[in-house]
Structure formats: structure tokens, C-alpha cells
Structure 1
């Protein structure tokens, strides 16, 4: 468990104060293991502009407004080391970044330690809700015993309380977010909307902002929906659960293939893949494209020519995708 937590990445936009010119620049930060790397953009495949080795730093602390005139500022410092200053978009993210950095072994000031202690008192827990293989997911001060964590299966059902904002509406409303292997439902009062897995063309999980955003395509129109959760930990749980449920659903189809060539997406419904990736073939189309899913649950379109095209694999894809995934062909 400790190793899994150690490798979990925390990422997001921050302003960073320069060492020489003292100017503030917006950078994309990734906190992983004991390294804090920053990039010019969200493209983490490009070389980082810099990496800070947190193993040698001894303290993370908030910076008072009067020091630089910046709200939501924090710093990391150590003996005979450069002090780095950062500014978060909000007070909440300021706290979450400091807690995350402290969680990598960096000492915390008294005020940050209070935040760390408060965060440590809240855990993701699952409680049976009376539905078959159904669980309600929420935050609790009491940790869930490891032996009580249910295995994720094709027929599992998880419910989360959330706020949702549709692209066509400015208003945010309270909903029940229900996740199953078929997709997920958003229940608003008496209305339930089902978003089936094959209709989702893009996922975006942002635990640091406590949101999950997805894009669906209906009648060639892309529609964006944003769900807000009470904690970034719930978003992380949702992300890992969606990936696990997709893979559980696909596991018994036996439709797996190997990517032959790198492919970089040019449209929102396409999938970035690298040579050697193992991909689950969900469906093959007559126009030379197939719908595939990587091991992390990411799903999208890639050319058939980029995948090992064993005749039996393609034939099975056409038959089994039609039979086993027929219910998932469009959003209702």
C-alpha cells in the first residue's frame, strides 16, 4: 500500500517565482515519488523545464500575503538550498499541494501540519447500499479495513454524491453519480441519464480540482459534462474504478492485440498509442478504423493498419463486439 501511495502523481497548474528575475510564470507541475517536475505545458512527453529533488528539502510552508503580495502562496526550503515559491489558483489547492508535498517526506510547518493531520483523518470508504454488488462511496474519518474492500467486477455498482454542470447549462445541480460496467448514470431528482461507455470519446480526471469531465458525441456533436466531487480522493477512486471495470468487462472477450506503430491522435475521439501497447479491440469498422481500449481504460479510435491484424482477431472483434457490447453503442 505504501508503494502505491508513493508512486501516485499529483499534478496541476501553479505560478512559480523565478530564481534570478523573480518574475512569476505559469507552469504545469507533476509531483511523483520524491520529485516535483515542471513543464511549459500539459504535454508531459516533452522534457521538463526543471525537476526539484524533494528528498533534500526539509520544510513546506504557507507564505503570508505581505511577503510577495500573492494570495495562496507556499514555499519549500532546506538548509543551503534555494527556496522555491509557488502560488496556487485557490486556497484549497494551496492546502492540497502542501499536504501532497508533505506526504513525500518533506517536513511541514505547524500550520501545514494541521492540514496534513486533517487530511489524514478522512478516508474513502464503501458501504453496501442494498443493491446487488452495490456500494455507496463517500469520505469518512474511519478508514476502511483492507479486507472489507470489495473486488471490482463486471456487475459492480458504485454510487457517488456529486454536483454536475452540463455544457449547455450554467447552473450546477446536486446529483447521484452511478457507475456500472455499462457506463454511468447521472440521477437528477426523478431524471436518470445513462452515458454508455462506448459513447464517451474523452475522459479527464482532475483530483486536484475535485472534478471529472467527460465528452460524449451525439449526432456528430460533442457535448461536455463536468462532475464535481467533495474530495479529490473520490475522483481518484472513480478513475481507478472506471479503468478496472472496463478491463473486467473486456477480459472475457479475448479480443486483445498489439500496436505495431505509434499513432498520435488528431481528433478528440482518437487514441494515442505507442508501438508494443496491448490494446483490447472493441469494434472494427468498414472504413479502416477500430475502437480500442488500453489497459488503463482509455478508449478511442485508431487505424486498423496500426494494429496486428490477425484475421481471427478482427473476425472475433466484429462478432463479439456486436454481441457483447451492443448495449453500449450510443448514449441514451
Structure 2
């Protein structure tokens, strides 16, 4: 490779890395506990615990659970109900002052689906894990913070690509995985930086690209709302505002009949971000580990309980659904979590060594 081209790629690699390094260190450090979020929540006592009842105890219907949620949070409305496959005896409820309240201002708690008893979940409303999540996602800056993180992710991808380009001629002079122990500390760290960087290459690209997609989630959801969802609810554009909701008792049975072979992941109540003013939206998921992250909305008229549409998933929502668990290593159980954590630690080493190499080189030039 010509020296002029090498200098250009070196410039791209150096400055794309330097600009995003501090943000990536924040993401890597906060990402470690998020990889083990189930285990961390259990360790911190944030996992809801439901009292033991005889096997086969009947479950309350959704209307009864709505009443239990509203009794716990009087003066509020239910925004969402959702389920966790790991705890079939419970569900989470999200309530707020209005249906359109921002999620960060809502209140989340758990309900025992057999008794309607409320179990508070501190991790969903604050605590260590929520702090880690907010720092990782938007640094408590909302959409601007997410877009900044998306930009840093793009710089990270540019640093990876330019690093690979620079690594090719470098390895033409050395054997793969060579670390020149007899040289200066700077040369040894350069060799380690290159070695760890190339070993973690594929993982870093996956995490970087999925991180950019996740950071753009709000924008993708807004596109889905203005495009797909708007088309599905177009017949209700001139409908009068609802004065009373039909009881939610049969929502799950209706949605399962409309989407055979699928089960409910969460319910969005009328007026929320994932529904319309006139619909319950039951988001159904597949039975396999992969399809469980691809959600299909079933729109149900909130006054008559008639199914008005079964939505198709646009490609960008599929990308978002697959990116979220892949970013945090949620696909392969404990072995994948451990692998993700190890690669995360190695990435921290790459970032810190890159800063060290830049600083030493700057001093040498001075």
C-alpha cells in the first residue's frame, strides 16, 4: 500500500478512534452488567418474587388485572401489560398519568396473574441497573443522547474498518499474533492492540452496527407509526373519541385466534405509542428463539373488540427486533453471555491501549 494512502487511513483510524473512545469506554463499562442483567437483578433483589400457590392455580383475566393495576395506582391509566417467559406466574404493568406519557415518566411494577397482588420492581424505576441502562442508552439526554451514541457507533465502525486496512500491511512484516517482547513498551502495546483488535473484529462490528440500530430505535418507531400503523388505523381517522373501553378480558384469546401459533408478548392500550386512540394493540411473537424477537401487532377495536388488522413487519422493525438481543448477547444463554463479557473486556483493553499509543506517539513527536 502506498505511503500516502496509509497516511490517509491512519488519519481516519486515529481521529475516529479518539473522538469516540471515551463514549465507547462508557458503553463497554455499562454494558458489562447489562449482559448479565437477569443475574444482576436477582443478586440485587430486584427480581419480583411471587408467593407459592398450588400448581394449576387459575389465572385472572386481563380485565381483572387492569382493575388491580388501577387500584394500585389510582388516578393513572394503564399503558402496557407484558409477560416474561421466565416467570409465567407474573407480568409487568406500566401506568402513567396519561396514555401518552413519556416512558421515562411512567411507573412499572409486577402483578401476580393468579391473585392480582402487586410486587414492586425497583430496578424498573431506578436503582443500579436502571442507571446502567440509561447511561448506556442515552446518558440521561433522551433522543439527543441516543443520536449522539448512534454517531459514536458509526465512528467506531469507521475505526474498525480503517484499523483492518492498516493491519494488512503491518502483518506482511510479522507473523500473526506476534508480540515483540524485546522491544519498547510502546511497540509491545502496539502489537497487543493490533492482536486484540483483530481477534475481536467480528464481535466489535456486530456490536457496533447493532448499537447504531438500537440507538435509532425512537426514529424507527416513529417511521413505523407514521407509515405502517397510520395505514392500519386510517379508517378511524375521523372517528369520535372513545368514551368507554370494552373490557380487556378476551383480548388474548382474540389475538391468538387472529395470529395462530403465536403468543402475546405485550399489550399496548389505546392512546399509547404503539397503538391508536381507538385500538388495543396485542403484539404477538413466534415460538422459536429467533422469531420470539419478531413481533406482529394485532389491532383490536377498543369498543367492539373486533380485529381490524394484523400488521406486517417492515424490514427496519425486523432489524430492530433482532439487533436488541444480539447487542446484549441474549441469544445463546449463559455461554454467549460469558463470551460477550470476555470480548467486552478485551475491547476495553483495545480502547485504553489505543489512547496510550496516541499519547506516547504525540510525546515522541513533540
Q: Normalising to structure 1: TM-score of the pair?
A: 0.26
Select the structure that is richer in strand.
Answer: 1
Larger radius of gyration: 2
Select the structure that is richer in helix.
Answer: 2
